[in-house]
């Protein structure tokens, strides 16, 4: 099979074992199906100095290898501008002047839907838009023509989720995540997206947006997250959960890989290569991994 998989970390800090686990899963899904595998740095915001290199070093240390070149979102502004302009020219966008507070209040109103934009600015008149422009810069939103879409997920099956008028460009001029990820995946031929299942609900929006841009949506595999003992998403504050912290506790890299492998039911694997040899998507756990750092 040809095609491409990818992993796309955001350099906002060091990767924890849950991030490394998702990266290894993305790599195994791709390599086990004969796909190439690419690395994309999602550095449009929340960038911490030195984090990108530490992340790449940690991923390489656990045995994850990728095909060049490395892609950085910060270097792809022209591609985002072109995609946004195509949607504007097609009449599929509108200006939005709502603040976060206004959106939250509208979504929580009796007829609102929590988490979804209710389309407040979609029907503004020309005069109303002109007046709002004097108050604050506009974001650009997609004028969706559907309310839901269905994607195929290798672990969740057919998943149908809502599609609202997502932001395409923020009011500070920075392209929004949903547009950037669709454009980037298409540019490097990604046809398989493996990521945490907290992003499953965003897949229908992104798949719909892809079709509007003439892009075939990828196949998805949303894998269970790593959680702390309280059932919350794992974070660095939860203790020794990064390679550097674990090394201070006496765990070598192959110990960490074996720990990750065990969480996936691969009890005898100690390297990424051994994990790939044992990889079976059907046998992957469907429940979150509750991470208990070593004492």
Specify whether the CB–CB gap between 154 and 221 falls below 8 A. Answer: yes
Q: What percent of the chain has pLDDT over 90?
A: 89
Query: How sure is the predictor about 114, in pLDDT bands with cuts at 50, 70 and 90?
Result: confident
CATH T-level fold of 77-180: 3.90.800
| 98 is annotated as contributing to ligand binding | yes
| 177 is annotated as contributing to ligand binding | yes
Question: Tens of pLDDT along 144-198?
Answer: 999 999 999 999 999 999 999 999 999 999 999 999 999 999 999 999 999 999 9
pTM, to two decimals: 0.94
pLDDT at 26 over 90: yes
φ, ψ for residue 101, nearest 5 deg: -65, -45
Report the pLDDT value the prediction gives residue 205, as an integer from 0 to 100. Answer: 97
Report the pLDDT value the prediction gives residue 236, as an integer from 0 to 100. Answer: 86
- For domain 4-74+224-290, the question of CATH label 1.10.3720.10 is answered with no
Mean pLDDT rounded to a whole number for the chain: 95
| 42 is annotated as contributing to ligand binding | yes
Active site residues: 236
| 31 is annotated as contributing to ligand binding | no
Question: Tens of pLDDT along 206-218?
Answer: 999 999 999 999 9
pLDDT at 115 over 80: no
**285-290: average pLDDT:** 96
| 149 is annotated as contributing to ligand binding | no
Report the pLDDT value the prediction gives residue 39, as an integer from 0 to 100. Answer: 98
Query: How sure is the predictor about 112, in pLDDT bands with cuts at 50, 70 and 90?
Result: low
Chain region(s) in the chain for CATH 3.40.50.620: 4-74+224-290
Specify whether the CB–CB gap between 130 and 95 falls below 8 A. Answer: no
| 7 is annotated as contributing to ligand binding | yes
Q: Which residues pair with 290 in a beta bridge?
A: 227
Chain region(s) in the chain for CATH 3.90.800.10: 77-180
Residue 262 belongs to what H/E stretch?
A: helix 253-263
**224-252: average pLDDT:** 94
| 236 is annotated as contributing to ligand binding | yes
pLDDT at 1 over 60: no
Report the pLDDT value the prediction gives residue 111, as an integer from 0 to 100. Answer: 63
Percentages (nearest 5) of helix, strand, coil residues in the chain: 40, 20, 40
What does the alpha-carbon distance between residue 240 and residue 249 come to, in Å, rounded to a whole number?
8
Specify whether the CB–CB gap between 57 and 253 falls below 8 A. Answer: no
pLDDT at 44 over 90: yes
């Amino acid at each position: 099979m040809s095609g491409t998989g990818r992993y796309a970390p955001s350099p906002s800090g060091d990767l924890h074992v849950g991030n490394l686990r998702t990266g290894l899963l993305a790599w195994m899904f791709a390599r086990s199906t004969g796909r190439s595998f690419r690395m994309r740095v999602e550095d449009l915001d929340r960038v911490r100095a030195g984090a990108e290199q530490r992340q790449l070093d940690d991923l390489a240390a656990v045995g994850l290898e990728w095909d060049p070149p490395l892609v950085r979102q910060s270097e792809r502004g022209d591609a985002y501008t072109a995609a946004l302009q195509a949607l504007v020219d097609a009449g599929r966008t509108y200006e939005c002047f709502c603040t976060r507070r206004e959106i939250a209040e509208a979504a929580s109103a009796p007829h609102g839907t929590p988490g979804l934009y209710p389309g407040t600015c979609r029907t503004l008149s020309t005069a109303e838009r002109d007046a709002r422009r004097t108050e604050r810069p506009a974001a650009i939103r997609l004028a969706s023509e559907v309310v839901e879409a269905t994607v195929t997920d290798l672990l969740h099956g057919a998943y149908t989720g809502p599609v609202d008028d997502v932001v395409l460009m923020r009011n500070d001029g920075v392209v929004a995540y949903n547009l950037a990820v669709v454009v980037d995946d298409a540019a490097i031929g990604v046809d398989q997206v493996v990521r945490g299942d907290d992003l499953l609900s965003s897949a229908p929006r992104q798949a719909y947006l892809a079709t509007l841009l003439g892009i075939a949506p990828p196949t998805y595999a949303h894998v269970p997250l790593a959680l702390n003992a309280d059932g919350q998403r794992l974070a660095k504050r939860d203790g020794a959960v990064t390679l550097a912290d674990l090394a201070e506790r006496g765990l070598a890299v192959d110990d960490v890989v074996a720990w990750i492998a065990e969480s996936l039911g691969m009890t005898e694997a100690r390297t990424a290569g051994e994990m790939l040899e044992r990889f079976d998507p059907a046998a992957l756990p469907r429940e979150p991994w509750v991470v208990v750092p070593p004492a």
